[in-house]
Amino acid sequence: MQVAYLRAALMEFVGIEEVLPLDLADRGRGETPLRIYDTQDAMLIMLREMRHVQLHLLNTSFESAKMEAFYRFGEDTHQTQVTVLTVPKADLAEIRQLRNASRYDSADLALAIDWLAEAQAKWGIGDVVQAGVQRYADMLIAHYGLDVADGVPPSDVPATGC
């Protein structure tokens, strides 16, 4: 199931880019979509390419490792152990087999794959995907000058800010 969740998360991540032209058309300002590739952000581009690997080339089996972690509840700090799931580096290297791989310098692509392998080793691939979604969302907010209530009538904005 974890692999299915990763695949779904990557599809939703790229889905942001895919529906962006529709959202921008609804705004009616003639804006050009900020594509993931256009951000020139290696993290975002690698996650986008991982989506293609997961859909077309592989059925990943995660590697797992146990890590010590701390969490805080109020004033109390507790030690715990978490399981970190990672995509094997050999699976990440399959990005080189994609048609899009020709867009990138092979040395840069190798460095990006190494970076992704190291980044996911810290807290897992889920953490990297979550950080990528947040980064792309932040870029979209900044690029289009959005704020929480942009285009939303005040009555539709929750009072709690959630």
- Does some domain include residue 24? yes
pTM of structure: 0.80
- Does some domain include residue 138? yes
As for how many domains the chain has, the answer is: 1
- Residue 18 domain boundaries: 2-148
Using one digit for the tens of pLDDT, what is the confidence trace for 54-103?
A: 765 456 788 999 999 998 999 999 999 999 999 999 889 989 988 889 88
- Does some domain include residue 27? yes
Give yes or no for residue 157 having a pLDDT over 50.
no
The DSSP secondary structure of 22-88, one letter per residue, reads: HHHHHHTS-PPP--HHHHT-HHHHHHHHHHHHHHHT-----EEEEEEEEEEETTEEEEEEEEEEE--
Beta-carbon contacts of 97 under 8 Å, excluding residues fewer than 6 positions away, are: 53, 57
What pLDDT score was predicted for residue 112? Answer: 94
Report d(CA 130, CA 43) in Å as an integer. Answer: 11
Choose the weakest-confidence range: 20-24, 43-47, 94-98. 94-98
